[in-house]
């Protein structure tokens, strides 16, 4: 009886199945038609005067006096008094300036044709309001020595502004040109005369206006119709937020985005970069070296406090193989902490090139004897070190593994530990590491802002240098360099500190990083600003 | 049944209090100093002065219990605190991200219910047939595939090769098609299995045999089978709604959808404690409420359970 009912049920059910499959087919057909139709209509309306750029991060809060936003976005909307270029500091919102003989007073003559995009005129009063707003939040800008040096800000006349300093602080103009905090926002955006607790709008004098922002989705920048300078050739830039690197690549291949731009593997990893380069369908550009990638060696730890061990490590790491094999030649080999192109850094330091024999003999002389397992020991303790890296950075992981094999060759056991970024930063601050990654900030921050940060306890550099015999001298010397008015003397002082750091083997320099750009061939005018954090959209066009 | 609902609602109060304390306490156990984190998140060098100023600003100089009660008081008044990172009220941030996640979770839910019911039933009807084997093959594959990989494969095939949908973004409904498919796949697989197995088990019941002996129409027998098989399905599906809301993180990241999942992951990485606390609390409440809802629904469908209660 049961088998009979099965047959009957079966016929009925086959009918159900048939109608079900038909329904799915019809549904899929309509879906497909609809999508294609939409795509066509989109193609007709899309004009190539909008650049679609993908970033893994949202622009966030672009208040130029704070640090919560993406610098590339802040740079699009807000401008500075002076501009840092490859040729040096040039006039920008200030058309000229005078520096007093004692280097303590700067008088800026402002352009008279500048207005904010809301129509508010740009004048000395606005400059003072902005600089006062920055200074009322001094502790937040402690990393930037200029904020500590300013002791007077006054309006001379409508278009003349005077800045007074406590000391003849030499990087004044460079620091005024930085993306933040000395950029100008319309006073109408201030809240109770301040900007430190947020702003009510993002109105600047720059070539772009933030027209629309949907958090974590996109930001639309349109050409500023009131812009005083040469207007951008593009009508708009759409900053799309795409957290996944693979999705960014697929979007580029599909033509949904036109440009990928970034440094240190944060936007595009090296394998993908190589693949796109080989594919030949896209244009790729590499900037000149901008920042330094190095390994910090902690001078305060039981094993690495020994200078001989630190020196052996310098010779044991094959940087050339890292630059060629892991970084695919997208970065150049670094033999000194800062490249010779960095101001004050072409001082003829003797490079410590890969030399396994020398590394071995240094350790041997220092009493580290190789045991039967190929591990060096001294006083019954093995030469065991720990290197920490940011687990999300694929490049750092590969480099760490390579260094691990390099050190194994000289009998050093290197334990490599990938950590979540915040834990990695916490470790920097506490100094709880033998070896750790260090990246300099690149131009225009190197060398002055970078060395200035060596004096701050929250930095890994400070922690790693704590075991140095002359650490106190180093900190005093850095402070003195920053306010040394005499160029020649300053150069000598820089030579002294960089030589000391080099001889003490605090850093194992690895490579000089470069900014990378991948874009569709129809996009022209792609280039780089001196700062790796800015993107010169205003020069791009189709 | 009304009594049951009231009872469960009253029990909610101590449960929520407990959850709120645990989630506030756990987040505060994290070794990172929130003040320093706030500074770092904003790219400010955490000097001792800046840290101490931030401590005062965040109220971290007050004792733990005082801070907890202040936080709880705020929540009762609908104030979940201010995001450390954006300085925007947490509630506004959540309200902004919630619709995207709800659309994604809602559409996935509908798809899961549809696929679970229809394919599960088909598998049970054609138990052991080729169709059943193919569908079960799909179920195993879909369950085993990590969603980030599946998402990228869908993206590559449907968006890049076939050019049917955009790669990413939530600017129109088409942006939700691939994320919905990706999110539904592993969930649907589970529910197809549940539906199939329960239906097959129900077949063996005496009342089905009785119905068949009485000569009832086949469709009527199937209807009874399905209604009886629905109970575990509803419980599982009911609990899947909060799981779907909580499980959107990866899909949202791959498809660049600005939803709650991404908001939470970002908050975790930047140690945005008020945001993390609000998210945990929100998810806990969602789990409890949907659990209650599923219980009520099951009792409503099955009078036997009502009588037991």
Give the pLDDT score at A41: 41
Strands A435-439 and A384-390: parallel
Task: Choose the closest CB to B262 out of A12, A60, A243.
Answer: A243
pLDDT tens sequence across B86-140: 778 999 999 999 999 999 999 999 999 999 889 988 888 888 889 889 988 888 8
Q: In this complex, do A422 and B43 lie within 8 Å of one another by their Cβ atoms?
A: no
Residue contact B40–A425, C-beta within 8 A: yes
CB-based contact B163 A243, cutoff 8 Å: no
Find the helix or strand (DSSP H, E) in which B129 lies. none
Q: Check whether B207 has a pLDDT greater than 70.
A: yes
Query: Residue A251 is encoded by which pair of tokens?
Result: 């979007």
- Complex confidence, ipTM: 0.82
Task: Please state, rounded to an integer, the average pLDDT across all residues of chain B.
Answer: 85
Task: Please tell me whether residue B159 adopts helix, strand or coil conformation.
Answer: helix
Residues composing chain A: 542
Give the nearest partner residue to A139 out of B43, B53, B169, using CB atoms.
B53
State the pLDDT at residue A376: 94
Residues of B with Cβ-Cβ distance to A141 under 8 angstroms: 44
Please give the pLDDT value at position B44: 66
Count helices and strands in chain A by DSSP H and E runs = 16, 22
How far apart, in whole angstroms, are the C-alpha atoms of residue B163 and residue B149? Answer: 19
CA distance A445 to A253: 35
Closest residue in B to A429 (Cα) is B46
A-interface mutation test, from B31, B39, B44, most A Cβ less than 10 A away: B44
Contact B87 A61 (CB under 8 A): yes
Q: What is the reported pLDDT for A135?
A: 93
Instruction: Determine, for residues B50 and A242 on separate chains, whether the beta-carbon distance falls below 8 Å.
Output: no
Mutation test of the interface with chain A: which of B256, B262, B266, choosing the one with the most A Cβ atoms within 10 A?
A: B256
Q: How far apart are CA A302 and CA B89, in angstroms?
A: 47
Distance from CA of B253 to the nearest CA of A (A): 6
- Rounded (10°) CA dihedral B264, B270, B275, B280: 50
10 Å CB burial of residue B148 (0-12, 13-18, 19+) is middle
Q: Provide CB contacts within 8 A for A263, sequence distance 6+.
A: A287, A290, A291, A442, A513, A514, A515, A516, A532
Of A46, A75, A56, A55, which Cα lies nearest the Cα of A232?
A: A75
Chain A residue with Cα closest to B220 = A9
CA–CA gap between residue A205 and residue A83 (Å, rounded)? 14
State which residue of chain B sits closest to A54, comparing Cα positions: B256
DSSP letter assigned to residue A189: G
CA-to-CA distance for A244 and B254, rounded, in angstroms?
Answer: 5
* Strands, E assignment, A8-64: 50-55
Percentage of chain B exceeding pLDDT 70: 97
In terms of C-beta density within 10 A (0-12 exposed, 13-18 middle, 19 or more buried), how is residue B47 classed? middle
Q: Do B122 and A20 touch (CB under 8 A)?
A: yes
Which among A52, A116, A353, A368 has a CA at the least distance from the CA of B256?
A52
Cis upstream peptide for A181 (omega within 30°): yes
Tokens of A463: 């922690």
A201 neighbors A189 (Cβ within 8 angstroms): yes
DSSP per-residue letters across A350-367:
PP----HHHHHHHHHHTT
Residue A2 or B85, more confident: B85
Helix A356-365 with A307-316: angle, nearest 10 deg: 160
pLDDT confidence of residue A240 = 93
CA dist A240 and A248 (Å) reads 10
The H or E element containing residue B52 is: helix B48-58
Minimum distance, in Å, between the CA of residue B239 and any CA atom of chain A: 27
CB contact under 8 A, A68 and B41: yes
pLDDT recorded at residue A409: 93
B160:A12 CB<8 A: no
B258 and A68 within 8 Å at the Cβ level: the answer is no
Interface test mutation site (partner B, options A5, A390, A422, A533, max chain B beta carbons within 10 A): A422
Q: Which residues contact A333 (CB under 8 A, 6 or more apart)?
A: A319, A320, A323, A510, A511
CB-nearest partner of B258 from A143, A214, A425: A214
> Which two structure tokens, joined as six digits, stand for B17?
């209090």
Three-state DSSP string of A248-264: HHHHHHHCCCCEEEEEC
Note the pLDDT tens digit of each residue in A320-379.
999 998 888 888 899 999 988 888 999 989 999 999 999 999 999 999 999 889 999 999
**Spatial CA neighbour of A111 closest among A279, A228, A15, A273:** A228
Q: Work out how many CB contacts closer than 8 A connect A with B.
A: 141
- Select the residue from B33, B42, B45, B264 to test the A interface by mutation, using most A Cβ atoms within 10 A: B45
**Contact list, B48 vs chain A (CB under 8 Å):** 457
User: A97 vs A79, A94, A297, CA distance in Å?
Assistant: 17, 7, 43
Shortest distance, CA A53 to any CA of chain B (angstroms)? 13
**Residue with token string 């609390």:** B281
Of A198, A247, A458, the CB nearest to B168: A247
Give residue A42's pLDDT: 44
Distance from CA of A405 to the nearest CA of B (A): 31
Residues of chain A short of pLDDT 70, as ranges, are: 1-47, 263-266
Cβ contacts (< 8 Å) between A216 and chain B: which residues?
97, 258, 262-263
Partner-chain contact A253 B155, CB within 8 Å: no
Helix (H, G, I), strand (E, B) or coil at A467: coil
Token code pair at residue A227: 């812009």
Return the structure tokens found at B90: 């947490």
Tokens of A250: 């697929």
Taking alpha carbons only, the member of B172, B218, B44 closest to residue A65 is B44
| Higher per-residue confidence, B40 vs B52 | B52
Query: Within A46-101, where are the H helices?
Result: 71-77
Residues B174, A142: C-beta atoms closer than 8 Å: no
Token pair recorded at residue B260? 């709650």
Instruction: Report CA Rg, chain A.
Output: 28
Give me the DSSP letters along A474-533: HHHHHHHHHT---HHHHHHHHHHHHHHHHHTT-EEEEEEE-EEEEE-TT-B-----SSTT
Whole-angstrom distance, CA of residue B105 vs CA of residue B89? 24
Q: DSSP letter for A115, please.
A: B
Q: Which of A8, A67, A256 sits opposite B218 (nearest CB)?
A: A8
Count CB neighbours of A373 within 10 A: 9
Q: Burial letters for A50-61: b for 16+ Cβ neighbours within 10 Å, e otherwise?
A: bbbbbbbbbbbb
Distance CA A263, CA A442 (A): 11
pLDDT at B153: 92
Contact: B32, A12; criterion CB under 8 Å: no
Q: What is the DSSP letter of A443?
A: T
């Amino acid at each position: 009886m049961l088998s009979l009912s099965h047959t009957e049920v079966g016929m009925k059910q086959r009918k159900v199945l048939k109608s079900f499959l038909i329904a799915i087919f019809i549904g899929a057909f309509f879906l497909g038609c609809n999508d294609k139709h939409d795509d066509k209509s989109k193609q007709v309306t899309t004009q190539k005067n909008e650049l679609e750029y993908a970033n893994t991060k949202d622009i966030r809060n672009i208040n130029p006096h704070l640090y919560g936003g993406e610098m590339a976005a802040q740079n699009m909307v807000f401008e500075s008094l002076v501009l840092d270029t490859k040729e040096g500091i040039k006039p920008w919102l200030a058309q000229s300036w005078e520096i007093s003989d004692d280097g303590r007073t700067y008088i800026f003559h402002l352009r008279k044709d500048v207005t904010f995009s809301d129509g508010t005129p740009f004048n000395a009063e606005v400059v003072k309001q902005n600089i006062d707003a920055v200074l009322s939040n001094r502790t937040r800008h402690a990393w930037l020595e200029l904020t500590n040096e300013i002791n007077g800000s006054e309006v001379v006349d409508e278009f003349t502004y005077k800045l007074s300093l406590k000391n003849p602080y030499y990087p004044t103009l460079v620091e005024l040109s930085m993306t933040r905090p000395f950029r100008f926002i319309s006073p109408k955006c201030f809240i109770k005369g301040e900007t430190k607790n947020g702003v009510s709008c993002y109105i600047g004098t720059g070539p772009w206006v933030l027209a629309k922002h949907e958090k974590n989705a996109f930001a639309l920048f349109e050409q500023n119709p009131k812009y005083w300078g040469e207007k951008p050739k593009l009508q708009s830039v759409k900053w799309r937020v795409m957290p996944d690197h693979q999705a960014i690549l697929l979007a580029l291949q599909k033509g949904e985005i036109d440009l990928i731009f970034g440094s240190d593997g944060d936007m595009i990893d090296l394998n993908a970069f190589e693949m796109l380069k080989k594919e030949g369908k896209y244009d790729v550009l590499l900037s000149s070296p901008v920042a330094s990638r190095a390994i910090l060696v902690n001078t305060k730890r039981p094993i690495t406090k020994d200078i001989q061990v630190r020196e052996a490590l310098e010779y044991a790491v094959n940087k050339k193989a890292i630059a060629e094999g892991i970084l695919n030649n997208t970065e150049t080999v670094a033999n000194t902490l800062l490249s010779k192109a960095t101001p004050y850094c072409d001082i003829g330091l003797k490079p410590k090139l890969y030399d396994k024999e020398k590394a071995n003999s240094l350790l041997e002389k220092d009493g580290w004897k190789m045991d039967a397992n190929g591990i060096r020991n001294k006083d019954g303790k093995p030469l065991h070190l720990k290197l920490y890296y940011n687990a999300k950075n694929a490049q750092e992981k590969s480099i760490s593994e390579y260094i691990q094999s390099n050190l194994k060759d000289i009998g050093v056991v290197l334990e490599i530990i990938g950590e979540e970024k915040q834990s990695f930063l916490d470790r920097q601050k506490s100094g709880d590491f033998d070896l750790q990654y260090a990246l300099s900030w690149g131009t225009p921050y190197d060398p002055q802002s970078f060395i200035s940060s060596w004096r701050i306890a929250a930095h890994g550099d400070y922690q790693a240098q704590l075991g140095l015999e002359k650490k106190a001298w180093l900190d005093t010397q850095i402070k003195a360099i920053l306010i040394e008015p005499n160029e020649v003397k300053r150069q000598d002082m820089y030579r002294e500190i960089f030589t000391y750091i080099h001889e003490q083997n605090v850093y194992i320099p690895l490579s000089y990083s470069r900014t990378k750009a991948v874009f569709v061939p129809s996009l022209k005018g792609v280039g780089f600003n001196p700062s790796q954090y800015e993107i010169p959209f205003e020069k791009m066009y189709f | 049944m009304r009594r049951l609902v009231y009872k469960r609602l009253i029990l909610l109060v101590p449960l929520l209090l407990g959850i709120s304390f645990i989630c506030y306490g756990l987040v505060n156990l994290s070794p990172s100093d929130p003040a320093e984190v706030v500074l770092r998140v904003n790219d400010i060098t955490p000097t001792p002065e800046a840290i101490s100023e931030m401590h005062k600003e965040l109220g971290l100089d007050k004792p733990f219990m005082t801070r907890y009660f202040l936080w709880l008081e705020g929540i009762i008044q609908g104030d979940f605190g201010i995001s450390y990172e954006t300085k925007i009220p947490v509630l506004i941030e959540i309200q902004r991200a919630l619709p995207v996640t709800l659309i994604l979770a809602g559409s996935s839910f509908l798809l899961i219910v549809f696929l679970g019911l229809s394919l599960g039933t088909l598998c049970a009807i054609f138990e052991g047939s080729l169709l059943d084997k193919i569908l079960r093959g799909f179920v195993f594959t879909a369950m085993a595939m990590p969603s980030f990989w599946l998402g990228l494969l869908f993206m590559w095939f449907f968006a890049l090769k076939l050019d049917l949908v955009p790669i990413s973004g939530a600017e129109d409904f088409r942006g939700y098609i691939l994320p919905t498919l990706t999110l539904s796949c592993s969930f649907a697989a589970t529910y197809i299995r549940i539906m199939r197995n329960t239906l097959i088990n129900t077949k063996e019941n005496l009342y089905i045999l009785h119905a068949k002996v009485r000569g009832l129409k086949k469709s009527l027998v199937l209807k009874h089978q399905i209604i009886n098989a629905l109970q575990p399905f509803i419980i599982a599906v009911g609990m899947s709604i909060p799981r779907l809301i909580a499980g959107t993180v990866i899909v949202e990241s791959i498809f660049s959808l600005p939803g709650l999942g991404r908001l939470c992951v970002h908050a975790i990485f930047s140690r945005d404690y008020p945001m993390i606390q609000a998210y945990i609390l929100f998810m806990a409440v969602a789990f409890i409420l949907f659990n209650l809802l599923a219980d009520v629904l099951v009792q409503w469908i099955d009078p036997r359970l009502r009588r037991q209660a």
